[in-house]
Amino acid sequence: MIEAGPSHGVALLRKMLFIRRFEERCLQLYGEQKIRGFLHVYIGEEAVAVGVLEAITPEERVVSTYREHGHALVRGIAPGAIMAEMYGKQEGCSHGRGGSMHLFDAKAKFYGGNGIVAGGIPIAVGLAFADAMRKRNDVTCCFFGDGAVAEGVFHESLNLAALWKLPVLFVCENNYYAMGTRVDLAESVPDLHQKAAAYGMVSAFVDGMDVEAVEAAARLAVEQIRAGKGPYFLECRTYRFHGHSSADPQLYRTKAEVDEWKRRDPITTLLARLKERGELTDADETRMETEDESVIGEAVAFAERGTLEPPEQLTRFVYSERKP
């Protein structure tokens, strides 16, 4: 889907840019009612997915949230399979049964997409525990938002992961608003990485709007996990430019605040940096945009050609088909 460019920085830019353009098209399709249900876009937060996932191998597992399109794309799930899932078509990566919030692909080691706040955290701990039982030190990367740290299962999971020294990278995508509540109005300790200290877990925070900084921080974390030092908590301080979902009127924040964060857009920031370094030209940028438009157009066409699941199959995957 996204080929490496002439430099590592360009490769990072290509991945972030593709996520942005893919989700912008999703918003357009949602407005046309071709995508239905809930839609939570990642626009503004692309540096976290791209930077963190550079640090793990394709064999290692990823667990995500309902704002997971970016994670899924970077992980290598085909854009057409993701778009078809958004359309509810059975050619989608979850056979059209999950939609935007429940992307899943076992072959890509991508275990959701989870519509429940903090719901993926115990799943990640379970996957890491399975690896530990097999004497493997593969990293399980678990993404979640700032709202998840208020859930009981967050604390239970971190406690077990630290107690058993499980190889989990906990990545908190702190976009400062759990739906519509500012983090410092909901958390007595708004520096969320400090919560990991209660469990004896190493933690750090990083500027989540700088993809190169995120990658460096994630690589350091993964290095410690693979060395057998137990789990690691990385807080990525980022910001979503759109609302919590497509139905969010955003009455809890000002346009001036959003505009201030947009000046730190991870894509335009890296784009300028690469041009300053001489690693990218305006022609390169135009070519990338054209290529992305073509790939996304093909993904939409694939979804449009897809088929809806026959009603007689609605109980499939609901009940076990295994005979006694």
- Please state, in angstroms and rounded to a whole number, the distance separating the CA atoms of residues 181 and 252: 7
Q: What is the mean pLDDT of residues 147-168?
A: 97
pLDDT of residue 303 exceeding 90, the answer is yes
How do residues 175-215 score in pLDDT, each as one tens digit?
Answer: 999 999 999 999 999 999 999 999 999 999 999 999 999 99
pLDDT of residue 323: 62
- Please state, in angstroms and rounded to a whole number, the distance separating the CA atoms of residues 158 and 166: 10
Show the domains of the chain with their CATH numbers: 8-187+218-299 (3.40.50.970)
Phi, psi of 206 (to 5 degrees): -145, 155
pLDDT of residue 245 exceeding 60, the answer is yes
pLDDT of residue 318: 82
Q: What integer best gives the mean pLDDT of the chain? A: 95
pLDDT of residue 173: 98
Percent share of the chain, pLDDT over 90: 92
pLDDT band for position 324 (cuts 50, 70, 90):
low
Query: Beta-carbon neighbour count of residue 197 at 10 Å?
Result: 12
- pTM, two decimal places: 0.94
How do residues 98-140 score in pLDDT, each as one tens digit?
Answer: 999 999 999 999 999 999 999 999 999 999 999 999 999 899 9
Give the dihedral of Cα atoms 248, 253, 254, 259; nearest 10 deg: -80
pLDDT of residue 3 exceeding 50, the answer is no
pLDDT band for position 252 (cuts 50, 70, 90):
very high
What's the CA angle centered on 93, arms 151 and 128, to 5 degrees?
45
How do residues 18-67 score in pLDDT, each as one tens digit?
Answer: 999 999 999 999 999 999 999 999 999 999 999 999 999 999 999 999 99
How do residues 61-90 score in pLDDT, each as one tens digit?
Answer: 999 999 999 999 999 999 999 999 999 999
Tokens of 309: 């699941």
Report the Cα 55 to chain-centroid distance in Å.
Answer: 14
Q: Which residues of 224-262 are buried (b: 16+ CB within 10 A; e: fewer)?
A: bbeeeebbbbbbbbbbbbbbbbbeeeeeeeeeeebeebe
